[in-house]
Structure 1
Amino acid sequence: MNDDTRLHDGPAPRGEVGRGPPRSGDDHVPGGGLPGAVLSPAAASGVYAALDLGTNNCRLLIACPSGDSFRVVDSFSRIIRLGEGISTTGSISDAAIDRAIAALSICRDKIQSKKAKRLRLIATEACRAASNADNFRDRVAAETGIELEVIDRETEAALAVIGCSPLLDPKGRGAILFDIGGGSTELVRIERDPDEPDALPRIKAWMSIPLGVVTLAEHFGGKDVTGQSYARMVEEVAQHVTPFAAEHGADLTDMHLLGTSGTVTTLAGVHLNLVRYDRRRIDGVWLSDADITEVIARLLAMSYQERAGNNCISIERADLVLAGCAILDAIRNAFPLPRLRVADRGLREGMLVEMMREDGAIGGCR
């Protein structure tokens, strides 16, 4: 994606149903879908499904157009750690494949039960990096009927912008958006066009860091994190972020951070002292720079067992959350902005909005 790119309004190409998953060298060609799925511009059933198979999570969102947005009719999210061990072995483990197929089977059943006919089913960093990704996708297709489309990092960044842009401060100029994943982190500078205030924001610059919470925690250790090991994680991430900030971090007036990831939603839940995670209280909440500093200090002071016992973290994220905080701190240091808006939304919402706009089923989705 070149600097100063506007997110397109027109239709993107879609693959043919039943042609099988793309092979090596074809990773960026959109894939097909479940048997019987229709990927034409018209979605006869009016039901859309977006699936995001990440390095850490498997997430599904099924929705119908409603006004200028959409109404969610079903959803699913499960931590599967598909990328566990890839940084050392180079391949997806048998255990991770089994976890993924179990989660994807649930997604298939939900898609079929809701009669979703307009689908986009994507995979990200783990399937970009693993040497056995093609074999994994073949097995997924054979056992679940789901044909995964491996998207590139540029597309991942663009979808995050589409999904999160409704949370831009309406009185601001733009944001530094970041998406901390399991195997990579996308960083995007987005700005409104002052001459077109109702248009989608422009992507002024973007980058992808080949580090996420899983890869960073596996390299530095995620359970027993000391002040020294945490500082080394921040320094490792900063080596990637600092050159981007040097080129694109000037003039941050009227801008804010906009974060989408399990890291920022977890931090917000801990900050609010929630008894259990509540998306309605998290999505769109503002955190000050001082709030973030205080929560990260609290997490660093906790033992692994204390983090695992916190209902907003749980055992599933207890060994990953501080790696995510280190990525966030490197971003905060590079882009010293006073506020962060938390987004419990991202790629799935971006895919739904994009498909619905292509079909003319919704407007600008502002």
Structure 2
Amino acid sequence: MADRPPPDLTRGAGTQRGKPSGKVADFRYKRPSQPDHNDTASAASPSARARAAHPHRIHAGNGRTRRQAYAALDLGTNNCRLLIARPSGENFTVIDAFSRVVRLGEDLAATGRLSDEAMERALAALHICAEKLRRRNVHLARSVATEACRRASNGADFIARVREETGIVLDIISAQEEARLAVLGCHILLESGIGPAVIFDIGGGSTELVLIEPGGPVPRILDWLSVPWGVVSLTDSVPPPDGTQQGRERRYAEMRRLVDESFAPFAERVRPAMEEADTIRLLGTSGTVTTLASLHLELPQYDRQAVDGLIVPSDSMRGICRRLSTISEAERRTVPCIGDDRANLVVAGCAILESIMDLWPAPQLGVADRGIREGILRSLIAADAQGEEGRAMLARQREQSL
């Protein structure tokens, strides 16, 4: 499938007033102009009614117009996420979204299987997704599963059960496809510069590193690596600390050692590109980087608009990593933007992030709250547009031959 992802809506850059410094990249989502309730006009204002009366339409080859909804579902090792959007000019407008921590990969490292409890949690979330897909009358959708289902001996059985119970057809994608979709979904947020850059995705069960050459609508992938260390798999593979600060430091050091060893071949391969680059640029997409960016901004609660596209000094991220790795899990639970869901997993994410920053020592880190789902949406919209063009051309050819 050839991808023609449209660029995101351009908005002015800015900084967060009253918060630690951090540049914001120029590219953001296009937001819905008003709440989408059965696609009817809101009575809030005349301008809202006018926008609803003249919605963006995709022109089909036969001259008809229609509005279409596209959906992307990503079932990962830790989260289940759904995004539903409509094309809007060169962008897309998000009309519905869902995210839930399901911990599908819980105990997978020890047993090699998806547990009954984990599958039930995931199925409960997927039933909600299925209802949203039906309610939004989605035209095209792609649903993917990643590392947990790739690794689990009962992964294929679980996929079949999901299809039977919810109607959702999950595609277990390869690590290479996962890396490609992550790049496609977030590369627009990469800082400007000359030379190769690295984009990474720290997941629940794996981490993908991609060396890219920016340019054109889609960057060229020069090299990539996927390792089976994510925030869940790494947490489960290293014994918990003994309750002392020294024990926590030893555990963190062991996490760093495991990740460094896995990254070593990629580090050797990309070193020449790093040494020749005029500007070393690094962009990350994951709950780890967005959480740490929230702490950098000292946000009382997570704010996607403040975080997505933020450029943070790498030294600040390292300092946050070191602090989180030395405090207890109980203390981490009290930190804003971490809470119960991430208190046990964020240390593993910090270890992976520090290893990445050692491997590709950029002075600052770009933060993306977007990735696989956005990559899927761009692929679906582009492929459907190409299909419309092809059908329109065939229709014209048939008319001319009559």
| TM-score range for the pair, normalised by the shorter chain length | 0.7 to 0.9
Deviation at 1:302, TM superposition (A): 2.4
| Partner in structure 2 of residue 213 of structure 1 | 231
Tell whether the 8 Å contact from 2:290 to 2:367 is kept in structure 1 after alignment.
Answer: yes
Number of aligned residue pairs:
323
2:342 aligns with 317
Quote the residue 2:371 is aligned against: 346
Distance 1:91 1:53 in 2: 16
Cα distance between partner residues in 1 of 2:106 and 2:67: 37
Which amino acid in the other structure matches residue 275 of structure 1? P
Structure 2 counterpart of 1:204: 222
Compute the displacement of 1:115 (Å).
0.8
User: What residue is the counterpart of 1:71 in the other structure?
Assistant: 93
Is the counterpart of residue 122 in structure 1 residue 122 in structure 2?
A: no
CA contact (8 A) 2:280 2:362 kept: yes
- 1:99 maps onto 2:121 in alignment: yes
More helix by share: 2
Choose the corresponding residue for 2:254, options 215, 232, 243. Answer: 232
List per-residue Cα deviations over 1:57-115 (Å, max 9, x = no partner).
00000000011110000000011000111111111000001100100011011111111
Q: RMSD of the alignment, in Å?
A: 2.1
Q: 1:286-306: per-residue Cα shift (whole Å, max 9, x none)?
A: 111211121112212322112
Mean alpha-carbon deviation: is it higher for 266-275 or for 329-338? Answer: 329-338
Structure 2 unaligned spans of 5+: 6-59, 388-402
Q: CA deviation at 1:45?
A: 4.9
Q: Report the CA distance shift for 1:169/1:229 in structure 2 as closer, same or farther (over 3 A).
A: same
CA contact (8 A) 1:270 1:312 kept: yes
Corresponding position of 2:41: none
Aligned-partner residue type, residue 158 of structure 1? R
Mapping 1:188-203, distance limit 5 Å: 188-192=210-214, 197-203=215-221
Q: Give the CA deviation at 1:269.
A: 0.7
Deviation digits for residues 320-366 of structure 1, max 9, x if unmatched?
0010110111111111111110000000000000111112289xxxx
Residue matched to 2:3? 9
The match for 1:160 is 182
Normalised by the length of structure 1, the TM-score is 0.84
Counterpart Cα distance in 2 of 1:328 and 1:358: 34
> What's the counterpart of residue 29 of structure 1?
none
Give the share of equivalent positions with the same residue, in percent: 48
Are the equivalent residues in 1 in contact too, given 2:185–2:371 (CA < 8 A)?
Answer: yes
Q: Counterparts of 1:273 and 1:301 in 2: how far apart (Å)?
A: 19
Shift of 1:44: 6.3
Larger Rg: 2
**1:198, CA displacement in angstroms?**
3.4
Partner residue, 1:308: 333
SS in 1 for 2:182: helix
Verify: 1:289 aligned to 2:314, yes or no.
Answer: yes
Kindly indicate whether the alpha-carbon contact (under 8 Å) linking 2:197 and 2:281 is maintained by their aligned counterparts in 1.
Answer: yes
Partner Cα separation in structure 1 for residue 363 and residue 82 of structure 2: 33
Structure 1: tracts of 5 or more residues without a match: 1-6, 12-40
Letter aligned with residue 308 of structure 2: D
Counterpart secondary structure, 1:92: coil
Aligned equivalent of 1:142: 164
Cα distance, 1:10 vs structure 2: 7.6
Instruction: Judge conservation of contact 2:187–2:199 (CA < 8 Å) in 1.
Output: no
Distance in 1 (alpha carbons) for counterparts of 2:347 and 2:92: 34
Identify the range of structure 1 (249-258 vs 215-224) with the bigger mean alpha-carbon deviation.
215-224
Listed as ranges, the matches of 1:54-93 within 5 Å are 54-93=76-115
How far the C-alpha of 1:172 sits from its partner, in A, is 4.2
